Amino acid sequence: MNTTAALIETEYRLGAHNYKPLDVVLSRGEGVYVWDMEGNRYLDCLSAYSAVNQGHCHPKIFQAMMEQAQKLTLTSRAFRNDQLAHFYEEIAALTGSHKVLPMNSGAEAVETAVKAVRKWGYEVKGVAENKAEIIVCSNNFHGRTMGIVGFSTDPDARTGFGPFAPGFKVVPFGDIDAFRAAITENTVAFLVEPIQGEAGVLVPTPGYFPAVRELCTRHGITLILDEIQTGLGRTGKLLAEEHEGIEADVTLIGKALSGGFYPVSAVLSNSEVLGVLKPGQHGSTFGGNPLACAIARAALKALTEEGMIENSARMGDRFQKGLTDIRSNIIKEVRGRGLMLAVELVPEAGGARKYCEALKQLGILAKDTHGDTIRIAPPLVITAEQVDWAVEQFAKVLASA
C-alpha cells in the first residue's frame, strides 16, 4: 500500500476529487525543499499557496509547537489561556491594529469580517437591518465557504451551489469609477485583495488603492484588505498595503501566520469594527487556542527576526528579473511583487499545466492557475543561488517550447 502508485490510487478511489494535484507524493520538507517518497528533491515554488513563507518545518516554530503541545493545547474561549494576550500584543505591535480576533482558516476570517462590518454598519453607521451592502471585486478569491462563494465570480466556485446570501455587489478589480458608482448609503464595506492571487497575481495600477482609501473614508465605508495570501512578507513588505501607502480598517491574515504548522487566522481592526461584537455573537472552539497562539507567535518571530521580509523583496526582484530576461515566444507577461510572482503564457502555449509537469521533472513544483498562468511563490528563505537555479529551469522549460 505504501508505493507512490498505490497511494495515488487510494486517494483517487476514496477521496473527493475536488483538487487536481500534480502526481507527486510528498513525504518530507525542509526550508525551500520538499522530497517525494522516492527521495527526489523539489524546490517548492508554491509554499502551500503561500502558507509556508518561513520554509518547511522551520525548527523554531517546531520547537515552540512541541513545547506548547506538552503543556496545554486547547481550553476553548470559555477560559483564558496564558498565550492569547501575548498573541494579541505581538500582532498589534507589528501591525498597529487595535483589536485582534483569532480564527482558524482564512475563509473563517473572511466570514468573520463580513459579520463584523455588517454589525458595525447596523450599530454605528445606522444602516437598517438586512440592508447592508458589501462591495467586492470580480475574480476575487476569499475562500470556499457558502457566504464567500456566493459573491465569487468564478463559475466553478459557484455554479450549482446556490442559493446564496444577498448583500454583495461586484465591481471590476482596479476600476475606481465602478467602485465609486457602486457606493450607496447602505455600503458598509469594500472587501478586496491588495493583489489578486488566485486570479493570477493581478497587481493593481498605481493610484487605485489610495483612491479607494479616500472614497472609503469619505463615505464611511470600512476597507477590508484580505491579506491572507499577500500578507506576512509574501510581497516583500509585512503587509501589501504598505506598497500602496494606505491603511485598511480591517485586515485579514492567515496562511503564513502559522508557518504551515496549523491553521491560524486573524481579523485585525480598529477598535470600532471588532468592538461591536459582544459575548455570544461570534466564536470558534479552536480559535485562539494556546497551541495555535504559540505557533503563530513563533511564526511571526521567525518572519521578522530572520530577515525573511527583506529577503522576499530582494529575491523577488531577482526572480522577477530572471524570468523577465528569459527569451521565449510563449511568455506573455511576468508580473508580481516580492516573491508573489506569475508567468502568464500566450494562449497558443496550450495551457500552463504541462509546463508545471515539465518543471516537476526538473525538480521544481509550481502551480498553474486560470489555464495560462504559472504561479511562483517559494518560501521567503530562498537564496540567490536557488533563485538563479530556478530561473535556469524555467528557461529550459519555457524557452524550449
Ligand X SMILES: Cc1ncc(COP(=O)(O)O)c(C=O)c1O
- Active-site annotation, residues: 141, 226, 255
By CB under 6 A, which span of 65-73, 101-109, 127-135, 371-379 interacts with ligand X? Answer: 101-109
The answer to the question of residue 226 lying near ligand X (CB under 6 A) is yes
Q: Residues 39, 41, 47, CA angle at the centre, nearest 5°?
A: 125
Instruction: Determine the straight-line distance between the first and last CA of the chain, rounded to whole angstroms.
Output: 37
193 near ligand X, judged by CB under 6 A: yes
Give Rg (Cα) of the chain. 21
The stretch near ligand X (CB under 6 A) out of 92-100, 159-167, 224-232, 324-332 is 224-232
- The answer to the question of residue 251 lying near ligand X (CB under 6 A) is no
Q: Which CB, 228 or 339, lies closer to ligand X?
A: 228
Q: Are strands 133-137 and 187-192 parallel, antiparallel or unpaired?
A: parallel
Q: How many CB atoms lie within 10 A of CB 91?
A: 22
Between 287 and 326, name the residue whose CB sits nearer to ligand X: 287
Supply the minimum distance, in Å, between the C-beta of residue 391 and ligand X.
Answer: 25
Angle between helices 84-95 and 290-305 (to 10 degrees): 30
95 lies in the binding site for ligand X (CB under 6 A): no
Is residue 286 part of the contact set for ligand X (CB under 6 A)? no
| Shortest Å distance, C-beta 110 to ligand X | 6
The count of other CB atoms within 10 Å of the CB of residue 380 is 31
368 binds ligand X (CB under 6 A): no
- Smallest distance, ligand X to C-beta of residue 193, A: 5
One of 29, 254, 288, 336 touching ligand X (CB under 6 A): 254
What are the grid coordinates assigned to 59, written together?
525548527
List the one residue from 29, 31, 106, 379 that touches ligand X (CB under 6 A): 106
SS (H, E, C) 195-258: CECCCCCECCCCCHHHHHHHHHHHHCCEEEEECCCCCCCCCCCCCCHHHHCCCCCEEEECHHHH
CA 101, 89, 250: angle at the middle one, nearest 5?
40
Q: Which stretch binds ligand X (CB under 6 A): 55-63, 124-132, 192-200, 208-216?
A: 192-200
Instruction: Give the one residue of 198, 241, 244, 368 binding ligand X; rule: CB under 6 A.
Output: 198
User: Measured from the CB of residue 38, what is the shortest distance to ligand X in angstroms?
Assistant: 29
Q: Which residue is nearest to ligand X (CB)?
A: 106
How many Å apart are CA 48 and CA 378, to the nearest integer? Answer: 9
Residues 6+ apart with CB under 8 A from 29: 35, 44, 52, 56, 57
Write out the binding residues for ligand X, residues 143-162 only, by CB under 6 A. Answer: 143
Number of residues that bind ligand X (CB under 6 A): 15
137 sits near ligand X (criterion: CB under 6 A): no
Q: How far apart are CA 196 and CA 140, in angstroms?
A: 7
- Interaction of residue 112 with ligand X, rule CB under 6 A: no
Compute the least distance from the CB of residue 143 to ligand X, in Å.
4
Contact segment (CB under 6 A) with ligand X among 25-33, 136-144, 158-166, 340-348 equals 136-144
Per CB under 6 A, 228 contacts ligand X:
yes
Q: Is 127 an interacting residue with respect to ligand X (CB under 6 A)?
A: no
Binding range to ligand X, per CB under 6 A, among 7-15, 221-229, 235-243, 377-385: 221-229
Q: Residue 216 in contact with residue 139, Cβ under 8 Å?
A: no
Return the ∠ at Cα 20 (arms to 16 and 26), rounded to 5°: 95
Is 107 a residue that touches ligand X (CB under 6 A)?
A: yes
Output 212 or 398, the one with its CB closest to ligand X: 212
Binding of ligand X by 55 (CB under 6 A): no
Q: Which long-range contacts (CB under 8 A, 24 or more apart) does 357-364 make?
A: 357/22, 358/397, 359/45, 359/393, 359/394, 359/397, 360/22, 360/24, 360/42, 362/393, 362/396, 362/397, 363/40, 363/41, 363/42, 363/43, 363/393, 364/42, 364/43, 364/45, 364/390, 364/393, 364/394
User: What is the smallest separation between the CB atom of 138 and ligand X, expressed in angstroms?
Assistant: 14
Nearer to ligand X, 293 or 326 (CB): 293
Nearer to ligand X, 103 or 345 (CB): 103
Site residues for ligand X per CB under 6 A: 49, 105-107, 110, 141-143, 193, 197-198, 226, 228-229, 254
